[in-house]
Amino acid sequence: MSNTTPSDDAARTVQKLAFKYGINPTTIQLSSSPSISALITLIRNGIGSGVLPAVLVQEHLASGELEILPVTAPPPMVIHRWHLTNAGSATLGVAELVSQVALEQEGDHG
């Protein structure tokens, strides 16, 4: 989503690639969406390329619908877990799930 660290990192990566390949970065149009499904549909329909976390599109990568381009990945994302002390069970469950996924990804990549 716009105005987030991952979005800013993605925009910097695209700008670096533009310079590397002699493309004027002002001719590139960047869009963001909180919907991974919408982004996948746009990419599959040939609208453009996307910067997506591979962990969220593993099935599409495995099926060949999407492919990873040979570019330098941005720095790893830092995930923070925060919730109110008296948070409800659903919030605590999601926070625990986020922690588990972050630890698994760290184990896979670090």
Same domain for 94 and 53: no
Tokens of 45: 């329909």
In a domain? residue 71: no
Residue (of 36, 18, 35) closest to 27 by Cα position: 18
In a domain? residue 70: no
| CB of 72 closer than 8 Å to CB of 13 | yes
In a domain? residue 74: no
Same domain for 59 and 19: yes
For the entire predicted model, the pTM comes to: 0.54
Ranges of residues in the chain whose predicted pLDDT is under 50: none
pLDDT at position 63:
93
pLDDT at position 77:
65
Same domain for 58 and 17: yes
Taking the CA atoms of residue 17, residue 52, residue 64 and residue 108 in that order, the dihedral angle to the nearest 10 degrees is: 100
Residue (of 74, 82, 76) closest to 105 by Cα position: 76
Domain count, the chain: 2
